[in-house]
Amino acid sequence: MLKVIIFAVVSAGIMFISWTSLRNPHSHGFWRFFAFESLLILILLNVDCWFRDPFSVNQIVSWLLLFSSLILALHGFYLLYAIGKPRGELNNTTVLITQGAYKYIRHPLYGSLLLLGGGVFFKNLSLLAGTFFILTIIFLVAAAKVEEHENLKKFGPDYAAYMKTTKMFFPFLL
């Protein structure tokens, strides 16, 4: 029952933050909302196993992914504020960022969420958790694709050239 209450409260907060995006399925925020929701479900599914068997291979992999997620998120947010010069909302940058992690990947914050999802999934490998992890991946890829379309409109040929020299989420991979 507690998990249902937590889900409802956190979902209400995510919905409040995403309200304008939810009315526009052609915005990256629409898809990001569903990625956040599937991540929330994944976390609630596996929260009971967070510290179970702490030195197992699954737990070690999980903690490595979670720590990597935190580092990438902090770095990505720092660059958004310091270089991106956001106007209004954080994701409304006015400068194309090509330094730091952005030199290698276009979406470090979405990459961070993928690492978070993987870290949570490894806490307790199950078919249900795997399903929500796959949904998270699908929604984050959709959000990134839509955001790239928005960035092409916003930054034009500079963003198109940037796309050719970087990967979407992880350097040398994807």
Instruction: Supply the pLDDT for residue 73.
Output: 97
pTM: 0.92
> Which of 23-32, 35-44, 59-68, 134-143 shows the lowest per-residue confidence on average (mean pLDDT)?
23-32
Helix (H) or strand (E) holding 103: none
Average pLDDT over residues 72-99: 85
Are 167 and 174 a contacting pair, CB within 8 Å? yes
CA dihedral 111, 114, 119, 121 (to 10 degrees): -170
Cβ neighbours of residue 94 closer than 8 Å, sequence gap 6 or more: 84, 85, 86, 87
Are 33 and 15 a contacting pair, CB within 8 Å? yes
- How buried is residue 150: exposed, middle or buried, by Cβ count under 10 Å (0-12/13-18/19+)? middle
Q: Is the pLDDT of residue 23 over 90?
A: no
Q: Is the pLDDT of residue 85 over 90?
A: no
Q: Is the pLDDT of residue 144 over 80?
A: yes
Q: How confident is the model at residue 81 (pLDDT cuts 50, 70, 90)?
A: confident
DSSP sequence for 66-94: HHHHHHHHHHHHHHHHHTS---SSTT--S
Are 55 and 26 a contacting pair, CB within 8 Å? no
Instruction: Supply the pLDDT for residue 90.
Output: 64
